[in-house]
Structure 1
Amino acid sequence: MSIEHQLKDEFQHNAKNVVCPPSINMRVMSAYKELVKEKKGDQPVERRRRWPKAVMVILLIAVVSGFAYAGRTLLFEETKGNMTMSAVTLEELKLSKTQLERISQARSEVKAQLNPGESAVVYLTDLDNVRSLPFIPVSQPDVNEDLNAWRKELKDRHFDRMPPDSILGTYRFAGGMKLSPFGAYMGSETDSAALLEELKAGIEETGQDFIWSKTPAPASLPLLTYTTVYRNADHATLYLIMENAPDSNVKIQLSAPPSAEYEELDLNGHAAHYFKNDSYVYTDSLFYQEISWMIEQGGKSVIYRLGSDSPAMSKEQLVEAAKNL
C-alpha cells in the first residue's frame, strides 16, 4: 500500500475523533507560518486567519501526522464502552545507552528529593530532539499499606474486582497507590507547552544537563488510575494497575521504541496485549513488561494491567499470574 493510501486510511479512521481545542487557531497558524518561511521567506500571513476552523483542523493533522508517519507503527487499537486503548512504536524513541543511563540517573536524583505524594517532571538536554518525550515524569507515591482500606477506596471509585492478598502464591501485597507508580503528568496542551518553555529557560540560565520542577496534583482527572503493588522474598515486583473513566470518554495510547516486543494473547476469553520493553525510561531497571486487557460493564470499561519491572520475571509467569486474576 502506498504512503498516500496509508495516510488517507489513517485520516479517515481518525476523522470522527478529531477534537478542536481552544488553542487550535494559534497552533495551526504557527505551523503555517513556519511552512511559509521555508518556502517564501518571512511574509505576512494575517489573511490566513480567516480560514474556516474545519480547514485548519485538516491542516494541523496533515502537518503533524504527515511528518511523523514514517517513523510510527500502529500495533493495535481496541475500544470498549467509553474507553479506547492503543499502542504505537515510534522511531524517535530509539534512545542510546548513554541517553537511557542519564535519564535513569536524573530520575533517581529527583525522586530522592520528593516527599510521599509529590510528583515532578525532569527535562534533559539529551531529549531535545525527541518530540514525543518532552520531559520525564517522576513521583514518590504515597503508599497505603492497609489492604482492607485500599480495597474500600477502590470500591468507592467504582471498581468491582478487588485485588487479591497475593499473586502466584509468593508475591504478597505491599501497598496501594493512586496514579502510576512510575510518575505521571496531567496537564492541558497549553500547560505542557508553557512548562516545557520554562524548563528550557532554566537550562539556558543554569547551563546544567537537566532541570526539574515539582508539579501540583490536579483537582480532578478524567481517568482514574490505581496501582496495587506485590513483592516476593527476592524483592521482585508485580504491579496490578486498574483504570476507569466514570464520567468521560478516554483514549489511552502507549508509545514504545521499535525494539519493543508485542503479542496479542487470549486471556480467559478476553483479548489481551503483551508488551516487553528493555528501554523503558520510567523504571529504575529501564525494563518493563505488561499484559493489559479491557472489560466492559454497563457501557463503562475498566482497563487492567499486570506488569513487572523485574528482568527476572518471565513472560510465562506473567501470563499465568494474569490468568489467575
Structure 2
Amino acid sequence: MKTKDFYYELPQELVAQHPIKNRDQARMMVLDRATGTIENKRFYEIVDMLDKGDTLVLNDTRVMPARLFGENKSRNGKVEILLLKRTGKDQWEIMVKPGKKAKPGDILSFGDVLTGEIESIEQDGLRRIKFTYEGVFENIIDDLGHMPLPPYITERLEDRERYQTVYSKETGSAAAPTAGLHFTVDLMEKIRKKGVNICYITLHVGIGTFRPVKVENITDHQMHSEYYSITKETAEILNETKRNGGRIIGVGTTSVRTLESVFGDGYPIGEKSGWTDIFIYPPYEFKAVDGIITNFHLPESTLLMLISAFAGKENIMNAYKSAVDNKYRFFSFGDSMFIK
C-alpha cells in the first residue's frame, strides 16, 4: 500500500489555529464503520453514544514545555531544541534547529541555568544531549520552556493549559493526546453516572506519533519507540469489560496504540510498562479496541493510516471528504470524530 493512497485535499483555512472556548462544544462526526453512515453532532453528545458497561480509555500523559530556545556556544549561533524522550540521567533525545550546525561536542546554552553537550547524532538526524544544571530539571524546563505546538499552528497560545487534557497527570510528552482535549470534568462525570467506566493509560507522545511518512511504501516506514504504562487497576477494568461484552473505546490514537500493544501479547492482560513502536495500518486485526474517539489527522500520516485500518480506508476517505465539505476544523485544536 502506498503513502499517497492516504492523501486528501485540505483547504488551509480549515486548520484550527486555536481551541474553541468550551472544550465539549466542538463538532463531532460519528462514523459507523459497519455501514459507512455519518452523523454530525457536538462532542458533549458523546454521552448518548456510550452504553453502560463500556470503558473509555484515556491517556493521562502531560505535555512538557519541551521547546527551548538558546545559543550554540561552539558556533556562535541561535539554536532551538525539542525534548523528545529521556534516555538516561540528564540525557535526552532531541530534535535540533538548525540541525546541520549541531555537531557532537557542541555546547548549547539556555539562559544562565541550563547547558547541554551534544553527545551523538542519532537516527533521522536526532541528537543525544547531556544537560548540566543546578536545581530541579523539571522546574527549570517549566520556567524556560515553551509548549511544543505543531508547526501548522501559527497563532500564539495564551493559556498553556488549553494544550493539556483536563485529566493530564504524568509529565513526559512532546505533544498532546489531542482527542482528549474535548473532555471537561463535568462531561466525564456525566459519563460515569451513565455506568461507563473511565480508566487511564500513559503513553508519552514523542516523534513516533507525529513523524511524517517519507517513504513510498508504508511498510518501509519505521516508527520510533514511545514509553507506555498500564496499571493493575486499569488492566482489571479492561479484562472485566472484555469478559462482560462491553466495548473498549480508545480516546486518541495514543491510547489505541498502547492497548493494541498490550493486548497483542495475549488476554487477559496485567500491569505492564515498556516501549512500543507499533505501526497500525490496513489490513490490521484489532485485538483490544471496539471504538475510537479521535481528531482529524494530517494527510499521509500514520494516524490516518491507523483509523483507516479500524474503519476501512474507503469509509475514512469518504468521511474526510464530508468533513471538508462541511467545514469541520482539522488537527490538534480541531473537531472530533467517533468511530463506532
TM range (shorter): under 0.3
Higher relative contact order (CA 8 A, sep 6+): 2
Tell me the TM-score normalized by structure 2.
Answer: 0.26
Q: Which structure's residues are more often helix, by fraction?
A: 1
In our comparison, the structure showing a higher alpha carbon Rg is 1
